[in-house]
Structure 1
Amino acid sequence: MSAPDLAGWQHVYSGKVRDLYIPAPDSARPQDQVLVVASDRISAYDHILATEIPDKGRILTQLSLWWFEQLDDVENHVLSTDVPEAVAGRAMICKKLDMFPVECIARGYLTGSGLIEYRASSTVCGLELPPGLVDGSRLDRAIFTPSAKAEVGEHDENISFEAVVDVVGPDVADRLRELTLKIYTRAEEIARERGIILADTKVEFGLDPATGVITLGDEVLTPDSSRFWDAATWQPGRSQPSFDKQYVRDWLVSDEAGWDRSSDSPPPALPQEVVEKTRARYVEAYEKLTGLTFS
């Protein structure tokens, strides 16, 4: 899905999933706004796939909006959902923030890149963890494990808190850590009440130039930015099934796909079964978390 032309808005950027617009030069709309549109694109292994997942953009947007409401004591960037009809349900009009070049990640469970570092050094982002942890272990308390933002197609790089201080200064770094852990702790409680484990999550913040307030931006607590596991099947010591694009990743590395991750060739198109299962997993996450029916 290419970024659509929208009357009154000028397209300025496309990421892996989202397209960003600013008010057109002849628009009467305030220039400190940005239109954030979630597409149905899906990425895996640092590639944007040719096959899209129907309704994925709507699910991500509606779930983010629901979470912003649950986190009403954290300033966020949403101004309105009164968006052009062509992107209704998948877009938000937001404050234009000066984004910090840091991916703010909170982990309450050990898995993914954190597990890889832990196995090598018993640390995650320089934080010492106790011995004997395995894939899926719950940590005694959530930890802040930031990463440096990478360009589209590149890997984010885990960094220490001291590296964040070097980039944004000690006061901002402290506030980013505080807000990230606050968001994770609240969301983890909400998810657990609904039978879902929030293993980790990535959030992004920016400075609101009008108020000077550090503000939550981008998406929040979606299957694209978080690991959600079914609490009923959680079993430390193995990889946990997750409410995200796991079907896509698993198929891409299967013999059926015939794709070499280490090559420069793009991933193949997804079969319809994988598309349907992936969409169903996103819908299931939305419905279990919100208690609402997605239609």
Structure 2
Amino acid sequence: MKHVHSGKVRDLYVTDEGLLMMVASDRISAYDHILEPEIPDKGAILTQLSLWWFDQLKDVVPNHLVTHGPDARSVVCRPLEMVPVECVARGYLTGSGLLDYQRTGEISGVRLPPGLEDGSKLPEPIFTPTTKAPVGEHDEPMTFEQVVEKVGEETAHELRRITLDVYTRGAEIARERGIIVADTKIELGRDHDGVLMLADEVLTPDSSRFWPASEWKPGGPQPSFDKQYVRDWLTSPDSSWDKSSGNPPPALPDEVVNRTRARYLEAYERLTGTPFSG
């Protein structure tokens, strides 16, 4: 196999047959930085959870999966021409969406009702796409009109429909298992026949915000089963890191590494209903 690309988390190889092997590492990123040390078993958890979700969503949107890889962290998949838009769906107000709403009353050009607060459920899920920035740079919000300019009207409508359908199905399944999917980001690309397919990962703790439904209470940050715990530590006094300084983040303490791993494991086991075997 030939190595062709490394992202924040995944490494990509081309097989002799012209297929792609995607290997999820244990790397974790936040605020456009790859952090140290890695989170044990994270790559395998992400891969196995995505495989489970691909099966749950196969009647919603086709995916790029060809077969499992040689280990728990890898998959063999079809090469796709990726869409140059990050497709994001939000069902609850938090994160960067909350900051945009507080400034403008909108997210990605979508006007929201007044009076919402951190953790509020939105009247309905919304499509809030962003640019696809290179590693080390920050994705920027896009309006739907900007997506139309980028990819054309027909494709823009397809992206919005698929993203909201994936979010809606995922949120329904997760809620049955006691988890709120506050928001999620998906990757879409076209195969050689022009069919839009789900790629990369889907509805994982890296690409989504997962909240315990029993503890949801609007008005502030929510407990979570995702990497928000890492973001919160990085911006706390404990880390002594100034995000605006341009300096790299400090190393994650053992406690943060272990608790992050535990959150990823709990998300996997709650959603799939099976113990993680690695």
Q: Does structure 2 conserve the Cα–Cα contact (< 8 Å) formed by 1:244 and 1:281?
A: yes
Q: Distance in 2 between matches of 1:225 and 1:43?
A: 11
How do residues 1-295 of structure 1 correspond to structure 2 at under 5 angstroms?
Answer: 9-23=1-15, 27=16, 29=17, 31=18, 33-73=19-59, 74-81=61-68, 83-84=69-70, 88-209=71-192, 211-295=193-277
Q: Distance in 1 between matches of 2:14 and 2:21?
A: 6
Q: Give unpaired runs (5+ residues) of structure 1.
A: 1-8
Q: Distance in 2 between matches of 1:265 and 1:132?
A: 36
Deviant stretches of 4+, over 3 Å: none
Where 1:147 maps in the other structure, the secondary structure is coil
Task: Compute the displacement of 1:271 (Å).
Answer: 1.4
**1:125-162: CA deviation from partner (whole Å, max 9, x where unpaired):** 11111111111111111111100100101111010000
Root mean square deviation of aligned Cα: 1.0
Where 1:51 maps in the other structure, the secondary structure is coil
**Count of matched residue positions in the alignment of Structure 1 and Structure 2:** 276
Q: Distance in 1 between matches of 2:102 and 2:248?
A: 31
Say which is worse superposed, 239-248 or 117-126, in terms of deviation: 239-248
The one-letter code sitting in structure 1 at the alignment partner of 2:13 is: Y
Q: Distance in 1 between matches of 2:235 and 2:100?
A: 23
Q: Distance in 1 between matches of 2:112 and 2:208?
A: 21
Task: Compute the displacement of 1:265 (Å).
Answer: 2.2
Q: Distance in 2 between matches of 1:152 and 1:75?
A: 27
- For normalisation by structure 1, the TM-score amounts to 0.91
Q: Does structure 1 conserve the Cα–Cα contact (< 8 Å) formed by 2:209 and 2:228?
A: no
In structure 2, the residue matched to 1:4 is: none
- For normalisation by structure 2, the TM-score amounts to 0.97
